[in-house]
Structure 1
Amino acid sequence: MSANHSDRQLAGQLAGLGVEPDGVLIVHASLRTVGAVDGGPGAVVRALRQALGPQGTLVVPSFTTENSDTSPSFRDRVRGLGEEERAAVRASMPPFDRASTPAPLMGALAETVRLSPGALRSGHPQTSFAALGPHAERIVADHSPDCHLGEESPLARLYELGAQVLLLGTGFDRCTAFHLGEYRVPSPPQRLYRCVVSGNGGREWWEYADVDLDDSDFAALGSGFERGASGGAVRKGR
């Protein structure tokens, strides 16, 4: 690009896309795709908040897989290792702490929101969300530790609030909101999950059953949704 974006320019573009003033917005972002922005991720957060206005609420996923030994990332990490080496990896895994555990895989924008003054974060040890704004507490409160993305998660609260979804430099394959649908089909398949958390005695392992999450068809689902959308339900722009 010949010049960097400014937060004011981005705010205008976001408003042009249809980001609603005083609304609720969940964002998935790849800032590398967006391009250079004067002020970096902080400027993008400011632009989002400008577009939303003082009564708007900004939400991002702050997921963590680094503390789970049932996650695909753990399986990749220990593939080919012996039992002792696998045990050593498990022993080194950091326990989840709502206040301090980073979510590096969610990207720079999500981390900037999570670390912003006034941000609140839900308590699920693997699929937490961070939020800024008047509805933040309602959205992140009461996130059940055995419900990743269902009725007792921020996704259900976002649905109740009529939230918009912004895919900023990403596609429908990253649209976390689709996961709520997995909980709303009859008798969804379940599996066991396990992760390490901070407990009274230090590190504790938490095991629970929940829906067997599968995002492999999200890109196709998004394409179908886009083809059938009407009334400006899906908008694209720079």
Structure 2
Amino acid sequence: MLATVLTPLRLIFSKFVESYYSIAMRKHDMVPDHSFFEGLVACVAAIAPKDHYKNLEEGSIVLKKSKTFSFCEEGVHFEGECTPVKSDIVIFGTGFNGDQKIKDMFTSEYFRSIVVGSTSTTVPLYRECIHPKIPQLAVIGYSESLTNIYTTELMSKWISHFMDGGFRLPGVREMQRDVLEWEKFMKRYSRDYFRRSCVGIVHIWYNDQLCQDMGCNPRRKKGFFSELFEPYGPCDYVNLHPK
């Protein structure tokens, strides 16, 4: 009830952040099409490096928007530009095609067709780790969060505990229902970005699920008020003692 009543604060906070941080971004034509809240939901929000806007003002960083580019003797030629950008080194920051990498692990066409789902669904991984129809395969680190390193560590502990016989997976249908619940959440809050696997804004809830599966107490703080008001972080999950 409290979360529902305070829902308008989410919109207010998102709009405030957009209006404040977009001042410099608007000047350099960097404002994205999606909202700040959608960026958090889909883990497409980024922190600018130190002195980023200062370097833009000085001209040591030059931003170019172009669908195509080509190399020439002086450097790089962008579509619509008359003169090339002179450069000695070009670094390709192309990102990672995680879906394709998961598919490429299989020779079976059936597994390749089901492992990442369709373009209109989320990647169907139970607990962001295991495909309901391929329980012999665990995928660690595919889902992103605001702190990827310790999220991946918790996933690894969950998988290790499962392989050690600490708990059993639910049935295929139950795992598929759980995957659909996460898909509904992503579609509800992130429009075209829902396919991206991200637990950023439900990170603590996700950690609680892993802890409960392993038989650990999901409440990691000491004291009632600490549990309510202190932020959770990696140190809270150092000494996990699965049953």
Normalising by structure 1, report the TM-score: 0.30
Q: Which has the higher helix share?
A: 2
The structure with the greater share of residues assigned to strand is 1
Task: Report the structure number with the largest CA radius of gyration.
Answer: 2
TM norm structure 2: 0.29
